[in-house]
Amino acid sequence: MEELGAEILERVEAAAAVLRRGGIVVYPTDTLYALGARADDAAALERLRRAKLRQEGKPLPLLAADRDQVLLVARLEGVADRVAGRIWPGPLTLVLPALPGVAAAVTAGTGTVGIRVPASAVARALAARAGFPLVSTSANPAGGPAPSRVSELAPALRRQVDHVLDGGATPGGPPSTVVRLDGESVRVLREGAISPEAVAEAAR
């Protein structure tokens, strides 16, 4: 994480300590601010869902520090591994087969997990120091606008989180593209920052 200075790394470590203790944290990504908890902490995941007013039964997207951390929760093989190697780090969420034991709140019974390695060095450093992939759902109450800076956080949500990691303004724009790869076919579940054409090219 050489690209990060000592001051921001101190703030990242403070946020990671909160996550390791079972807290929920708002943090910057390469698109917008996210609401996160360690993906292996069932109690924190339930608190996060309630804070976001998120409907039960919807899977939670994850973010990882690197490929090795992805492999703690999912299988990354074949064409999916090729696409990941060519686009990550970046705003592309891959829907992958979940490993046994992944929290039900993450998979919502689908048997899959949506996960990405972001371009944001701050987000990658936070996941690395937290020690496990993090939930990465937008930091807004369900249906509300997603913030690109801390000042845009909804007051009701901010009161329910344990820590806010202020990394300045994020790039904003569209969210990550969500893709499921079945064999050699590319199925775009949500269009976003990475074009379907770029994903298809990476899959070749």
* pLDDT for residue 1: 41
* pLDDT for residue 54: 86
Three-state DSSP state, 61: coil
pLDDT exceeding 70 applies to what percent of the chain?
99
74-95 pLDDT, tens digit each: 999 999 999 999 999 999 999 9
pLDDT averaged over the chain?
Answer: 94
Provide the whole-model pTM. 0.94
* pLDDT for residue 56: 81
Mean pLDDT value across residues 11-29: 98
Answer whether 168's CB lies under 8 Å from 28's CB: yes
Cα separation values, 33 from 10, 104, 147, 180, 181, Å: 19, 24, 6, 24, 27
What lies within 8 Å, CB to CB, of 184 at 6+ separation is 79, 203
For residue 4, count other CB atoms closer than 10 A to its CB: 16
Domain 6-203 indexed as CATH 3.40.50.300: no
Q: Which residues pair with 69 in a beta bridge?
A: none
